[in-house]
Amino acid sequence: SIPELTMQVQLVHLVTASVKGFRGVDCEVGFVEKLLNWAPALEEVKIEWQCKTECSMVLAKLLALPRVSPKAKVIVTF
């Protein structure tokens, strides 16, 4: 988990982000959550799903995460 003390960090110019080898563990979901909360210019987060286990619960959690950018999309590929 990323400490809340670092909430002052903002990724003002980040437009796209890619996460490869995503397995859906809590710390990875937390990382994507921070990207969505800290990047006001973010348009998309591309996630390359690596794990072969059931992913519907994690996908639902990812798609429901709040975003600071109204344009931010989460795109998951398998």
Side-by-side strand order, sheet with 44-49: 16-22, 44-49, 73-77
pTM, two decimals, is 0.84
Say whether pLDDT at 66 is over 60.
yes
Better pLDDT: 55 or 72: 72
What pLDDT does 33 receive? 95
What pLDDT does 55 receive? 86
DSSP annotation of 3 reads -
First to last CA, the chain: 25
Say whether pLDDT at 44 is over 60.
yes
Say whether pLDDT at 53 is over 90.
no
pLDDT, mean of residues 13-33: 94
CB burial class (10 A; 0-12, 13-18, 19+) of residue 72? buried
